[in-house]
Amino acid sequence: MKRNKIWLGLSMALMLVAAGCGNNNAAVDNAAGKGNAPASTAEATADTGSSQDNKSYTIAISQYVEHPSLDATREGFMAALKEAGIVEGENLKVDLENAQADQANNLSIAQKIAGDKNDLVLGIATPSAQALVQNVKDTPILFAAVTDPIDAKIVTDLEHPGGNVSGASDTNPESITRLMQFIAGQFPKVKKLGLVINEGEPNAVVMADIAKQELDKHGIELVKAPITNTSEVKQAAESLVGRVDALYITLDNSVVSGVDTIIQTANDNKLPFFSADRDTVEKGAFATVGFKYYDHGYQVGQMAVEVLKNGAKPGDMKVTMQEKLDLILNLKAAEAQGIEVTDAMKAEVADPANNIIQ
């Protein structure tokens, strides 16, 4: 618990100094529909150069598994590079590797990347970033979709990471506490909240601990259904039926990869389903407090531009996080899960045009 309080304190301090890093309601639409490239950041990167530069670049990306949040992160990252004139197929070569949630594959990928010559490497998700940090010693490393980079031993300091590593955390602890407060305030019948979790993923454990601390204040019990891989998600979700009043998942890669089965279980049994990310809400969970992962990846892409074009050292770049959070509701999911969406619930959404999904 002490570790989480320290992380929370560090995170709140970072929130005060990292103003303007995130913008989740930008006007420039991503053609793939994953998110938005913030107008202000687009202007900033416009000055960093164009595809007319003579230099070419090689980067490697290690992604732990395919699912909407991590895919959107990668797309945002690539969009930021393109905005700055670093364009795949023109002056950029990309080695994209996916571990498919297999730790042995993940380690092999990191070792392969360590033996290759790259200008920069990106780790998407905590396990990928950990493996890269352990194996890649000289090449600049950036990470994205990492919950707690200190607990994961990716960096030792958020303001001054040091070494060859920096990036962005995808968890603002406030997003977890606010979601738990929403559940407690708007769902008085929820006394037990079921959590499907792979406790082998440090990011999932950290988020579960933060959620439990807040739920304890409201007299709500967090009931865990543990798994070790994605194939166990369906059985774990079904094991919670009759034992809990609602379901919740963290940014747990193994669980998110099998989230369709949780959505089906929630719908079949009229259990409100809450998630830690917007993409899962778009797929069929009812609510989260969060942001668009495309914007998260775009933010890390801007850091990559600074490294590649301006010679910035990752160790001198503070670890950032998304600052602008909002409650996000899916009204179709509410109907499927037997939830009456009240005016009081809708009133908690700051940007209903973007964050109430019809």
CATH number of the domain at 160, please.
Answer: 3.40.50.2300
| pLDDT tens, residue by residue, 188-204 | 999 999 999 999 998 89
Q: What is the pLDDT of residue 324?
A: 82
Give yes or no: residues 256 and 310 share one domain.
Answer: no
Cβ neighbours of residue 306 under 8 Å, at least 6 residues apart?
48, 312, 317
Angle formed at CA 290 by CA 285 and CA 296, multiple of 5 degrees: 120
Structure tokens at 330: 């899916």
Specify whether the CB–CB gap between 251 and 69 falls below 8 A.
yes
For the chain, give the number of residues: 358
| pLDDT tens, residue by residue, 242-271 | 999 999 999 999 999 999 999 999 999 999
Q: What is the pLDDT of residue 45?
A: 40
| pLDDT tens, residue by residue, 80-116 | 999 999 999 999 999 999 999 999 999 999 999 999 9
Q: How far apart are CA 261 and CA 236, in angstroms?
A: 10
Phi-psi region of 349 (alpha: psi -120 to 50; beta: other; left: phi over 0): beta
Give yes or no: residues 197 and 261 share one domain.
Answer: yes
Give yes or no: residues 8 and 125 share one domain.
Answer: yes
Query: If pLDDT is split at 50, 70 and 90, which confidence band does 54 have?
Result: confident
Q: What is the pLDDT of residue 323?
A: 76
Q: How far apart are CA 196 and CA 253, in angstroms?
A: 11
Give yes or no: residues 83 and 206 share one domain.
Answer: no
Q: What is the pLDDT of residue 9?
A: 46
Give yes or no: residues 200 and 211 share one domain.
Answer: yes
Give yes or no: residues 65 and 137 share one domain.
Answer: yes
Percent of all residues in the chain with a pLDDT value above 90, rounded to a whole number: 79
Asked if the model's pLDDT at residue 30 lies above 80, the reply is no
The chain-wide mean pLDDT, for the chain, equals 88
Antiparallel, parallel or unpaired: β 165-169 and 141-146: parallel
Domain count, the chain: 2
Specify whether the CB–CB gap between 252 and 201 falls below 8 A.
yes
Query: If pLDDT is split at 50, 70 and 90, which confidence band does 53 have?
Result: low
What average pLDDT does this structure show over 178-183? Answer: 98
Asked if the model's pLDDT at residue 6 lies above 50, the reply is no
Q: How far apart are CA 7 and CA 92, in angstroms?
A: 36
Give yes or no: residues 196 and 341 share one domain.
Answer: yes
Give yes or no: residues 220 and 353 share one domain.
Answer: yes
Query: If pLDDT is split at 50, 70 and 90, which confidence band does 43 have?
Result: very low
What is residue 33's DSSP assignment? S
Give yes or no: residues 308 and 335 share one domain.
Answer: no
Q: How far apart are CA 134 and CA 267, in angstroms?
A: 42
Identify the domain containing residue 217 by its residue range.
173-290+326-357
Which regions of 117-206 does DSSP assign to beta strands (E)?
120-124, 141-146, 165-169, 192-197
Stretch among 43-52, 122-131, 147-156, 340-349 having the lowest mean pLDDT: 43-52
Give yes or no: residues 236 and 274 share one domain.
Answer: yes
Give yes or no: residues 213 and 112 share one domain.
Answer: no
Specify whether the CB–CB gap between 196 and 237 falls below 8 A.
yes
Give yes or no: residues 201 and 304 share one domain.
Answer: no
